[in-house]
Amino acid sequence: MSQSFRGRDFLTLRDFTPEELWHILETALIMKKEPRSSLLKGRTLGMIFCKSSTRTRVSFEAGILHLGGAPLYLNKQDIQLGRGETIADTARVLSRYLDGIMIRTHSHSEVEELGYWSTIPVINGLTDLFHPCQAMADYLTVYEHFGRIKGLKIAFIGDGNNVANSLMLGAAKFGADFVLACPKEYEPSEQVLQWAEEIAAQTGSSIEVVHDPKAAASGAHVLYTDVWTSMGQEAEQEKRIKDFAGYQINGKLLELADHNCIVMHCLPAHRGEEISEDVLEGPKSKVFDEAENRLHVQKAIMALIMQTENPVC
């Protein structure tokens, strides 16, 4: 296991080379075959949650236990961070007690600040801008199905949100062609789009944003979607349902994709909105493989960045 990851933060896929991201996937595949080890025996992961979670909490908690370590759940409302203590102070204090921090929060700047002040590795469990652990689980799922990632067409149908941003960066890093179809005013971050285009130019892939879901789905190897209304956007729900009408992944859209296409969704899903029930539960769906792979990828990330100089294998 490469020592070059030891002590590093995992905040965005942009921070890692394609070779490093492949090493994470390869490590995850090994851990999927051999789930239990002592790689992080005696090490503790603090898990800060500013937003509710099912997959992130359970997969990180189970994952650190599988590696011989221990999780410590820290709800923002139960610690001084929720009463105004600064991120800088929190980071420096937790660094004296723990061996790693996972945080699921709102603003990406909070994760960056936590990483700046912490002397232990910080993992981004979700922010408003990125969801890198989800994207790595998604690309592990794609690789398991196709045996490759480079040259595939990944079509994201829906909001240009944090999941789309991380998938777009991942596509560029792994050499896949990425097309995002969204209504106007729901395009991804211009800065992230620029980064992805720059990386894609180096890896020989392409990045495109369109407003026609049929054009995006045509010939796609992967059809991906996420909820139209994320946590914190509930007041916009009625407007978003109107704006995203026509952007549902359903049987008709699936017919336009490659015959070997797979369908992905990071969950939770709103059946009948961004994806139809028959497609979500159909034979093309890899939704629950993705959910499982969160566990394996995150174990690989923790084992690599939280490892000691002489890990116990």
CA gap 165, 129 in Å, rounded:
7
CA gap 188, 164 in Å, rounded:
7
Burial per residue of 136-145, b for 16 or more beta-carbon CB atoms within 10 angstroms, e otherwise: bbbbbbbbeb
Is 131 known to be catalytic? yes
* Among 133, 134, 138, 298, the one annotated catalytic: 134
Residue for token pair 């990180």: 60
CA gap 207, 271 in Å, rounded:
28
* Among 55, 108, 265, 294, the one annotated catalytic: 294
- Letter for the amino acid at 236? E
Is 104 known to be catalytic? yes
* Among 221, 226, 240, 298, the one annotated catalytic: 226
Planar angle of CA 71, 73, 77, nearest 5 degrees: 165
Is 134 known to be catalytic? yes
* Among 14, 131, 265, 296, the one annotated catalytic: 131
Is 92 known to be catalytic? no
Question: 124: closest CA among 113, 133, 135?
Answer: 133
CA gap 255, 24 in Å, rounded:
33
CA gap 33, 293 in Å, rounded:
12
Question: 298: closest CA among 97, 104, 153, 51?
Answer: 104
237's CB contacts (< 8 A; 6+ apart) are 228, 229
Is 226 known to be catalytic? yes
* Among 104, 108, 265, 296, the one annotated catalytic: 104
Name the residues annotated as catalytic: 104, 131, 134, 226, 266, 294
